[in-house]
Chain A
Amino acid sequence: MLRRTFLMLTTSLAMACSASQANAACSPDYSGVTLTVASQTGPYIASALKLGADEWTKKTCGKVNVVEFPWSELYPKIVTSLTGSDATFDLVSFAPAWLPDFVTYLSEMPKEMQSGKDWDDVEPAYRERLMVWEGKIYSQSMDGDVHTYTYRTDLFSDPKEKDAFKAKYGYDLAPPKTWKQYLDIAEFFQRPDKGLWGTAEAFRRGGQQFWFFFSHAAAYTNNPNYPGAMFFDPETMDAQINNPGWVKGLEEYIRASKLGPPNALNFSFGEVNAAVAGGQVAESIGWGDTGVIAADPKQSKISGKVGSAVLPGSDEIWNAKTKKWDKFPAVLPAPFMAFGGWQIAVPKVGKNQQAAWDFVKTLTSPEVSGQAAITGGTGVNPYRKSHTTNLELWSKIFSPTEAKEYLGAQADSINGKNVALDMRLPGYFSYTEVVEIELGKALAGQTTPQAALDAVAKEWNRLTDEFGRAKQLAAYRAAMGLSPKN
């Protein structure tokens, strides 16, 4: 009897010890907690969330359920959930442009997360601008997005190509400084009989098309002499999308569509990456994923031959105030923060808010996000200083020259003097839908660039009046980092 009691006591003690050890491994202990995250369909972003989820589970014993929706369905799913005040999602991942529509329903980031080494490591373009709405932080960037230029170094360094190019255009073959040079290069390499085309961009409605157009237009409309006037006049909220700068951008975007592979009009960003990695095009513009995928020997035919640079610019930029072209002494690049990178936030109605913010912390930590950034297909591009300075991390996928160019292009773009921020406004989809429709018509040749953009401007002004001009102006100024108008 005594032996049996002793045995039971020992067993109980051992069990208690092992339980306390297990709990000690969970720090903080969220065992029993399952977080549900809304994401776009993977692999882009969803796989990064899963990567973060695995790490968080190891650390806290909590679980994360990533619910995926197609890109076109994500916004309505999140809006329906938030406006219905149901606690379906503990976290939502979304585009910064949607923040103004969601902000009423989101909880503020805990103050302790808004300081420290990890916080300072986030690039100021995100930390001080894209993550901020009316002076408060409601979301955390989990991806950095800026459009950059990608090209094939084997073609650009070929002496025969260089000589032929110089003979034809009168200047050296190199990453373009202006959009005119970009189109010259695309035209030069347009060789359908050899399976090589000039460039690849997204032109399909619903296929991230309008961000590529915005990248062209940013060079002619993001004027440092009148900041924040790229999309709307920050004094009057009058649409600027039909001014001569935008028209020039659209003309060049349409020209680029004719210098791509057959049926480039059906390209979304996915097809752009496939064309670049397949060695079908000499150059391209797009998000950082292009460089990472093109460098991956498993996915790419041009691995080891990938060059990167900042987007082309212009030495003439339209001034929305004076209604004249401003001439600059040198070409001024206007890297466009297209989309602005995925963000993650915690809805107010969430039942596990503390755990949810803890997951955000793990997901966006320098270690976990750094790993995601170098993993092709996660869709995560650099958004922390440590992402662009840690050459050792990138040497896993790039050659030293490739890594230097890629990280240089990313860092110079994000920190560029004339970086162009994407539009962030309440009713974002209403504004961009008409852009997509009119771009489709202009690309198909059904309307002229000026007529297409006039139609967009008319609808933008109508929407602004419908939503309330003063309210929209205040939101636009906040999004562009301008002080409130008195």
Chain B
Amino acid sequence: MMRNDPIKHVFIWPAVLVVLAISIFPLIYSFTTSFLSYRLIPPIPPRVVWLGNYATLLQEPRFWNAILTTTLIAFIAVGLQYVIGFGVALALNARVPGERLFRVALLLPMLLAPVAVALVARMIFNPTMGPLNQFLSMFGLANLPFLTNGHWALACIIAVEIWQWTPFIILMMLAGLQTLPEDVYEAAELENASAWQQFWGITFPMMLPISAAVVFIRLIESYKIMDTVFVMTGGGPGVDTETLTLFAYQEGFKKFNLGYTSALSFLFLIAITIIGVTYLALLRPHLEKRR
């Protein structure tokens, strides 16, 4: 078949149309809805408000609180996941005894559904009947308000996120570590480089590209956190643990405020894009140095 053979259109266009229909059209529809005042309940005929929904959202303290909460969860959880995950991956790469068992056991949390994990966590952290407080009370300590105090609730959500998603970092980092060339380390040992020097001089720089990718994926995923928060705290107490996606869910599927929710989704998209672009821009000089 020649490059200019018209038959290519027969194969390409159906695919293009399908992509347009299932992905671009909903996006455009949602974008146009974001300029409307449009509620299903109570049914109000759509009315064009242009940037009204965006302006209202930007003046809404609840929106900024959701941004702050989501950012806190994402950055603290992913930061700790990376440090712990990288550490565990290094240990597993050092061929410790029982490494295979550890590898399987450490991957288990990642295989569980977040809803199931959140349900178990909610029971563990239950202030009155949870085993954690019962354990603490054995030492004469007072019951801690794990899910009824804003700061504690946020800490509990972050802890669950770390527990569940550190295995993903371990998996990716371990795969990266196993591709590093042995001869570089042999040369470093001939030069009497300490383990710490080998890590900072060889391992960390060589792992930087994969680290950047792993952290990027986790950061974006963490910004989309919904199920864990929904089950553990429902966004409470008050709105102390309400994330952007949960806020969007409340507006969209509880109040059926469709125009406002569409605007919120696009602001969320803009926020994620800004964070992603900034992150990559900050890392670019370091990554280019490694090429």
Contacts and interface: CB of A to CB of B under 8 A. Distances in A.
Interface stretch (B3-11, B96-104, B161-169, B230-238): B230-238
A263 B257 contact: no
A430 interface: yes
A430 B255 contact: yes
Interface stretch (A24-32, A60-68, A117-125, A440-448): A440-448
A72 interface: yes
Nearest to B252: A76
> How many interface residues does chain B have, given as a range?
20 to 34
B145 A265 contact: yes
Nearest to A446: B238
A401 interface: no
Contacts of B158: none
Size class of the contact patch on chain A: 20 to 34
Contact of B128 (A80, A104, A262, A471): A262
Given A263-B128, A446-B238, A79 B40 contact: yes
Interface of A is mostly: helix
Interface in B222-257: 234-240, 250, 253-257
B239 A437 contact: yes
Contact of A266 (B43, B147, B254): B147
A171 interface: no
A116 B207 CA distance: 80
Contacts of A467: 39, 42, 44
Contacts, number: 84
Nearest to B41: A101
Contacts of A100: 42
Given A427-B41, A433-B250, A467-B44, A263 B143 contact: yes
Interface string B253-281: 11111000000000000000000000000
Contact of A206 (B40, B62, B127, B236): B236
B42 A72 contact: no
Contacts of A79: 40-41, 256
A440 B237 contact: yes
Nearest to B253: A76
B148 interface: yes
A444 B150 contact: yes
A441 B128 contact: no
B69 to A, nearest CB: 14
A429 interface: yes
Contacts of B44: 466-468
Interface of A: 72, 75-76, 79-80, 83, 100-101, 104, 204-206, 261-263, 265-266, 271, 426-427, 429-430, 433, 437-438, 440-441, 443-444, 446, 466-468, 471
Closest 7 CB pairs of A and B: A426-B42, A263-B127, A440-B238, A205-B236, A76-B253, A265-B148, A441-B238
Interface of B: 37, 39-44, 62, 126-128, 143, 145, 147-150, 234-240, 250, 253-257
